[in-house]
Structure 1
Amino acid sequence: MWSEIGPDRQQDIEVDGYRVVAYEFGDGDETVLCLNGGPGLPCDYLREAHSCLKNHGYRVVAFDQLGTGKSDRPDLPGLWTMERYVGEVDTVRRAMGLDRVHLLGHSWGGWLGIEVALHHPGAIKSLILENTVADMPHLIQELQRLRAALGHETVAMMQRHEAMGSLDHPAYQAAITLLNYRHVCRLDDWPAPVKRSLEDWNMGPYVALQGPNEFLYTGLLKDWDRTADLPAIRVPCLITTGLHDELTPACAMRMKQGLPQAELHVFPNSSHMPFYEEPQAYYPVLLDFLDRQRQRGRG
């Protein structure tokens, strides 16, 4: 259901003295504000996967976070903090005249979405946490389990290159490539919007906040854990994950246990991108949740 058709509207927004570019699809009276993964990725892959919601009466908004896509790209490592990104989301929301939104965060965007919901609860009508976590130390344990499935020799090889700092070695990169095809996107040919985002990745914020790849967390957020704060998020929440997701179903279940109004859906044939890997199952789940919130608001 994804489309490479361009946005209906595009807007430049000033954030911290820099230009951030936002995109809109549709003009419904209910807004889905999308926070993409990365960090450091342009929003193309998430924006184009969810632009189809405009055909169901929703206004869809996404934006290139500072440092990505068409937004300004300052080379200032001090900008890459969770606090600044939370402020950026609220600035974009206000600048676009958005009231309470359905906040949809994928991967890193889900970490950010949790922080936004905690800091700006009045801005959120519902929270959609896609392929994400609330507890980074638990995720790191899960990633070790996924890596272990490659076998003892491969794990030892990876640990040796990580210790030596030789992450560009072909053997190490081959292991990461295999893990990506198992746990990031299981399609043989990755969709064009995904390729476009990955080809324009700004590794500055990614390395600063997360680490050098999807299976090694060394950045500022490696100890981030909001599990104890989840009960404060009192809006309806939809949690989605793939059975083979790098951010595993166990991580999703930990979020569900902490959120007062949460429902969880695991897509059996997906990893980290059910909207591309299993669209025939994904979109009915998302639309059912959104439509129930819309009816609830009108009731």
Structure 2
Amino acid sequence: MWREIKPDERLEVEVDGFKVVAYSFGTGDEVVFCLNGGPGLPCDYLREAHSCLMDEGYRIVAFDQLGTGASDRPADTGLWTIGRYVEETETVRQALNLGKVHMLGHSWGGWLAIDYALTYPENLKTLILEDTVADIPHLVQELERLRGALGSETIAMMQKHEAQGTIDHPEYLAAIAILTYRHVCRLSTWPAPVKRSLDDWNMGPYGTMQGPNEFLYTGNLRDWNRVRDLPKITVPVLITCGEHDELTPACALRMKLGLPNAELRVFANASHMPFYENPQAYYPAVLEFLSRRGAAL
């Protein structure tokens, strides 16, 4: 189960002249390399959810992506591209001498992990794609379905504010709040690491790459789609999601059907953060996959 653990090492890596801060837990030879969601979030929420895997003999490594957390926060919007983040991820892996890793990508970190796997397949042992997608246009269709559950009048209200650019209006924000509770985290009290990450969200990368909120995609990733390339990823893949996930089970199935060596787990009573919402089911599933598929290599 997750708990807050002080990292064994805090490491600084230079990436294109900027400082990127990484955190390492445990000393095992098998490395779980975590890529958190956002974009623009510090890694606290994902780091603290997975550092406990050190108890099972794994080394866990996470880092604050450029623009987040303790890493440098340049203002150049030209830096906020998935290709640059792929190269940043590889720079961190090399600088920390991680070797071949079990890469775990959550949400936006899953999109990054897919592009990394297509660029540097030789550096992966396994791939864990959590609460993520391989096709943003398909996700947008799914989000419209989730929004539709609010009712026609609410949808009309949201569309009006999006068209007018008044998405800071209280009634629009109220609708987003309902969707967030239903599909991002269904816990009545959000865990401290989640709150820390959200309170320190850099909206520069987020707005440039994704959009103004979780349910409206307007950024440079809005047309991102790697479904045709998924057959090139041949390492063992575990796909996970919550039954109420904003990045829906239909999106997860779309990935599974495209990957030649993948399995899928959908966690009950969870949305976008099963590691906090249903840890009793989440951790055994991840550890069993790592033990079975990792050992088989």
| TM-score of the superposed pair, with normalisation by structure 2 | 0.99
Unaligned runs of 5+ in 1: none
Deviation string for 1:42-83 (max 9, x for gaps)? 000000000000000000000000000000000110000111
Identity percentage over the alignment?
A: 70
Residue 120 of structure 1 corresponds to 120
Deviation string for 1:153-186 (max 9, x for gaps)? 1000000000000111000000000000000000
Deviation string for 1:223-244 (max 9, x for gaps)? 0000000000000000000110
TM-superposed deviation, 1:36: 0.1
CA distance in 2, matches of 1:295, 1:117: 20
Residue 251 of structure 2 corresponds to 251
| Structure 2 residue 143 is the aligned partner of structure 1 residue 143 | yes
Give 1:178-257 correspondences, 5 Å limit.
178-257=178-257
TM-superposed deviation, 1:5: 2.2
CA distance in 2, matches of 1:278, 1:208: 32
CA distance in 2, matches of 1:34, 1:93: 11
CA distance in 1, matches of 2:113, 2:79: 18
TM-superposed deviation, 1:3: 1.7
Residue 107 of structure 1 corresponds to 107
CA distance in 2, matches of 1:17, 1:86: 16
Kindly tell me the number of residue pairs found equivalent between the two proteins. Answer: 297
Residue 285 of structure 1 corresponds to 285
Give 1:10-159 correspondences, 5 Å limit.
10-159=10-159
AA aligned to 1:177 is A
Secondary structure in 1 aligned to 2:204? helix
CA distance in 2, matches of 1:21, 1:184: 26
CA distance in 2, matches of 1:159, 1:91: 41
Deviation string for 1:169-214 (max 9, x for gaps)? 0000000000000000000111000000000000000010000000
TM-superposed deviation, 1:268: 1.4
CA distance in 1, matches of 2:16, 2:268: 42
CA distance in 2, matches of 1:80, 1:293: 34
AA aligned to 2:279 is P
CA distance in 1, matches of 2:90, 2:293: 22
Secondary structure in 1 aligned to 2:62? strand
CA distance in 2, matches of 1:157, 1:244: 23
Q: Which runs of 4+ in 1 moved over 4 A?
A: none
CA distance in 2, matches of 1:268, 1:5: 27
CA distance in 2, matches of 1:227, 1:237: 15
Secondary structure in 2 aligned to 1:166? coil
| Aligned partners of 2:5 and 2:52 also within 8 Å | no
| TM-score of the superposed pair, with normalisation by structure 1 | 0.99
AA aligned to 2:280 is Q
AA aligned to 2:286 is L
CA distance in 2, matches of 1:222, 1:236: 27
CA distance in 1, matches of 2:294, 2:231: 23
Secondary structure in 1 aligned to 2:269? coil
CA distance in 2, matches of 1:238, 1:295: 14
